[in-house]
Amino acid sequence: MSPVAPALDRTTLLREFQRLEPSITLVQTHISWVLLGSREVWKIKRPVSLGFLDFGTLDQRKAACEAEVALNRRLAPDVYLGVLPLLRHASGHLAPGSPDHGGEGPGELVDWVVHMRRLPDRDRADVRLREGRLRREHIDLVARRMVEFHAAARCDETTAAFGRPEAIAVNVRENFDQTRASIARFVTPAQAEEIEQAQVGFLEQQRALLLARIEAECVRDGHGDLRLEHVYIRDDGPGEAEVTIIDCIEFNDRFRYADVAADLAFLAMDLSEHGHVELSEHLVARYAQHAGDHDLYAVLDFYEGYRAYVRGKIAAFVADDPSVDHDRRVRAEASARHYFLLSLSTERRSLLEPAVVAVAGIIASGKSTVAELLGFEMSAPVVDADRTRKQLLGVRATQPVHDGAWQGAYDLSFTDQVYAEVLRRAGVVLASGRPVIVEASFRSRAQRERARALAREHGVPFRLVECRASPEICRERLRERAKRASVSDGRLEIFDDFVASFEPIDELPAQEHLVLDTGAPLDDNLVVLRNSLRTWPPGLWA
């Protein structure tokens, strides 16, 4: 890290801003000074050059401030208030803007400041996690928010170019080049070589996969720095909790233009690094389900290793920064070693063994409820036929497709395509070393055999959970479902035809077939599932 312009003094900055509010504190990062007030935040770019960024001139810092505000308003529109001049007044005092702060009239321009509204620390995801207040519902909301963000994010030829293997390699090799002189302080030469060979090797061996991600429009203008401390969750008011995400990368487009999996992997890696693999896996599973992007599992582990190395590199920069106090440099050294070792393996796999769990049954038998429950208990992705069908049709998940029984979208040939896609997606998850839940009616023996064959192909256990409920209960559920938006198109008009066509599940051995009475209380069924399938330990979740 090399200063390339006369630097503001952090001690002076703190003293001057404390004239505005005595309780203001200053946090120094590798690229910024952040001054934290009780209700406001001011961020000043440090005049440094790190190779991947250059804040050497006043104009460069102003441009970075303006980009930061514009880009971060995508996910935090009410937080980024604007860019202010940092002025030195005739008295010699510094203050942001004029005349709102300082009260001394116009002054000499010294630098530029990003002005923000301060969010409560108690809402920050890393604080919630540390205090045991980061719950499943919060993870679900973050996953959905990121799906919405990525769906609306820029996706064109410019962004797509950064998903090409050679473009990703620029970032990967830059990481290794920038740590070549210091890496031996943190890991052995053999470990450093293993990390580099694994990441570079993936890019060379998986070229077709990465190009397919471009074709699927998965390379977008994302966040680039999605870690726990940048995620805020407010749930102290009425209604659903709110998710606000700050501090995306503004200084280099190539760190934001990336596969959506690169964003997701950063947060997943962060959750795992904090000792919560179950939350990490749940985040990815929920994102994949909502986005219909189970193919991300094929690249997720690579991006987690890449992101861990980036964190190690930044910690190494801090450890080498002479302007940082001794205690922080010591902590940074330990952090760098930790993250470099974390990136040693590119396989961030679930602690549960891979398996195929098929959830089957007639219309309104409770399949979706049971599959969602299992997804939660196993932190495993659910690949369901209903969502997959809607995605293949190009319609919203809750948009009704009310063709007659075995007609249109439910024509038998199209249904075969849906099942093929469900099992293809499930295969991608299995190949990443994780369990998967497939939810569909599986009304024919042939459909069930295809799911069973998938498990055999991957050499993993197979279990079919058959959801059963009386016709009266199913009909009542369908009447209630008709009153609200639903992913399922099952309805009373086709119920009898469907039941008549359902082939009894009598071909499976007992060890592969679990019958669940969904007319029983859900808690009772949860006990049955926990006793019959490998799930995370009860009570693990907050």
Catalogue all structural domains in the chain, each as residue range(s) with its CATH number. Answer: 2-118 (no CATH), 123-342 (3.90.1200), 356-532 (3.40.50.300)
Q: Across the chain, what does the average pLDDT equal? A: 91
Check whether the bond before 99 is cis (ω within 30° of 0).
Answer: yes
Can you spell out the DSSP letters for 361-405? -STTSSHHHHHHHHHHHHT--EEEHHHHHHHHHT--TTS---PPT
Per-residue pLDDT reduced to its tens digit, 206-229: 999 999 999 999 999 999 999 999
Q: Which residues contact 525 (CB under 8 A, 6 or more apart)?
A: 370, 373, 516, 517, 518
Neighbours of 194 (CB within 10 A): 15
Question: Do β-strands 436-439 and 356-360 pair in parallel, antiparallel, or remain unpaired?
Answer: parallel
Among 218-232, 300-314, 347-361, 515-529, the range scoring the smallest mean pLDDT is 347-361
Per-residue pLDDT reduced to its tens digit, 65-110: 999 999 999 999 999 999 999 999 888 899 998 544 444 557 889 9
Question: What angle (nearest 5°) sits at the alpha carbon of residue 516, between those of residues 515 and 518?
Answer: 150
According to the model, what pLDDT value does residue 398 have? 83
Q: Which whole number is the average pLDDT over 466-485?
A: 94
Per-residue pLDDT reduced to its tens digit, 389-433: 999 999 888 888 876 555 667 788 999 999 999 999 999 999 999
Q: Is 83 helix (H, G, I), strand (E, B) or coil?
A: strand
Q: Which whole number is the average pLDDT over 141-158?
A: 98
Alpha helices in 225-276 (DSSP H): 260-273
Cα within 13 Å of Cα(534), Cβ side: 14
Per-residue pLDDT reduced to its tens digit, 244-260: 999 999 999 999 999 99
**Tally of residues, the chain:** 542
Q: Which strand (E) or helix (H) includes residue 298?
A: helix 297-319
**N-term to C-term CA, the chain:** 41
Q: Which whole number is the average pLDDT over 238-248?
A: 91
For residues 146 and 217, give the distance between their C-alpha atoms in angstroms, rounded to a whole number. 15
Q: What would the 3-class secondary structure string for 168-205 be? A: HHHHHHHHHHHHCCCHHHCCCHHHHHHHHHHHHHHHHH
According to the model, what pLDDT value does residue 236 have? 82
Q: Which whole number is the average pLDDT over 277-298?
A: 95
> What is the token pair recorded at 462?
């197979």
According to the model, what pLDDT value does residue 322 have? 85
